[in-house]
Amino acid sequence: MSAAQEFLRFTGHRSLTKRLTISTLTGRPVHISKIRSTSPTNPGLAPHEVSFLRLLEAITNGSSMQISYTGTTITYHPGLITGAIAGQGAADGDVIVHNIPDTCTRGITYFLLPLCLLAPFSKAHMNVRFTGSGVITSATETGDASVDTFRTAILPLFGLFGIPPARIELRVLQRSCAGPGGKGGGGCVELRFASQVRLPKTLHLNRSPGRIKRIRGVAYSTGVSASNNNRMIHSAREVLNSLSSDIHVAAQYDQAPLVPTGDKAGSKRRLGIGFGLSLVAESNSVGVIYSADVVVPPSGGTVPEDVGKRCAYQLLEAIAQGGCVSQVSASVMLILMAMGSEDVGRLRIAREVLATEDTISLAKDLKTFGASSWGLRDVGDETNDIIISVKGTGVGNVGRKIA
């Protein structure tokens, strides 16, 4: 009988979802301690982290986790990624219904990003519907991208790894911005990921980023005047019209969702009121996408014109940084490269993106989980970009045989 695997030990709450995701992909158990242990008021796991653990439990079979009494320590034994298998977590036909509490302060992409990293390695289709008073579809002040940016700037990149984006569907059934204090929203989002593969293809995205050929976007308003959309679009176009002639920004208006107040009378209130803008720039080089996201703060006090201009300038800044990948999608591509076939893939990345704390932390975590170290070299031109060489570990889909 083989000996049990030793725990890989980490500390702190930063990169918690990435570590649990990589643990599930590689099958390595982890022990994470000192989770907000110095916080005098809210030590331990936050509500959104507990909700993510429940999501992991729903989409896997055989996973086990132990959380300390204070919530500052967790041990996690990963199981098999099963997806929405009837009788094993699927509550509504072939869909897993996951409820997010109203105390959640993170956007829905906090859950969608790790879910889409696990979905290609699932035994069955990964169909999950996110409901509850805590679903926030807009961008958040905590750094989460909006569901529109996720759909237009991240999901298409899966095609570079041989994972057909045509079989990935993201439905926004109810939009919502963050509620008072950044907590709660009341939206509803459904992800249907039917692109399961045996092994992701090796990526070679080390060519020139090319020139911007078109700009797309979505202006959304929830529970406020629909004229805010036109004002955001007009101010953004004032900045971007000189960059490209092919600009199209769609306007989306939704009523604010009704959520229960929790009183005995069963009354409800409107929550998730706000507006925001998501912009995506596509290059003439295949697979090169830049994005920007701006949303009005939950406290208000920002006019739509400021949101539009700020988002446009953020997009220009992302384009000026260079590279073939933006900050919002860098971690997704680097993890898929590390999990791919045992060949060396290459990715051109801007120095500003590589030097962020999240990217450096990801490199350390992948090394801890047994992946090879990254190779770095200068491109050698005026852009000053970096080429990252990543050797895949050959982590395949053990639960599904695909011809």
Determine whether domain 211-321 maps to CATH 2.60.120.380: no
Q: One-letter amino acid identity for 323?
A: G
**87-103, pLDDT tens digit by residue?**
455 555 589 999 999 88
The ranges of the chain annotated as CATH 3.30.1370 are 327-391
Model pLDDT, residue 89:
53
User: Where does the pLDDT of residue 403 fall: very low under 50, low under 70, confident under 90, or very high at 90 and above?
Assistant: very low
Return the sign of the alpha-carbon dihedral for residues 48, 108, 367, 357.
negative
Model pLDDT, residue 130:
95
**156-177, pLDDT tens digit by residue?**
999 999 999 999 999 999 999 9
Q: Which residue has the higher pLDDT, 90 or 373?
A: 373
CB 176 within 8 A of CB 211: no
pLDDT > 90 in the chain, percent: 67
Architecture (CATH level 2) of domain 1-81: 2-Layer Sandwich (3.30)
DSSP string covering 89-148: TB-BTTBEEEE--TT--S-THHHHHHHHHHGGG-SS-EEEEEESTT---S--TTSPPPHH
Domain covering 327-391, topology = Ribosomal Protein S8; Chain: A, domain 1 (3.30.1370)
Residue 16: which residues within 8 A CB-CB, separation 6 or more?
Answer: 32, 35, 49, 52
- Check: pTM over 0.85? Answer yes or no: yes
Which string of b and e fits 201-214 if b means at least 16 CB within 10 Å? Answer: bbbebbebbeebee
Separation of alpha carbons 163 and 352, rounded Å: 28
The ranges of the chain annotated as CATH 3.30.360.20 are 211-321
The ranges of the chain annotated as CATH 3.30.110 are 1-81
pLDDT > 70 in the chain, percent: 95
Model pLDDT, residue 1:
35
Residues in the chain: 403
Q: Is the pLDDT of residue 127 over 90?
A: yes
Owner of token pair 């929550």: 271
Model pLDDT, residue 342:
85
CB 327 within 8 A of CB 381: no
User: Where does the pLDDT of residue 394 fall: very low under 50, low under 70, confident under 90, or very high at 90 and above?
Assistant: confident
Separation of alpha carbons 260 and 266, rounded Å: 7
Model pLDDT, residue 83:
85
Please provide the distance, in angstroms rounded to a whole number, between the alpha carbons at the two ends of the chain. 32
Dihedral (Cα; 32, 117, 373, 7), 10-degree rounding: 30
**16-35, pLDDT tens digit by residue?**
999 999 999 999 999 999 99
**376-389, pLDDT tens digit by residue?**
999 888 888 999 99
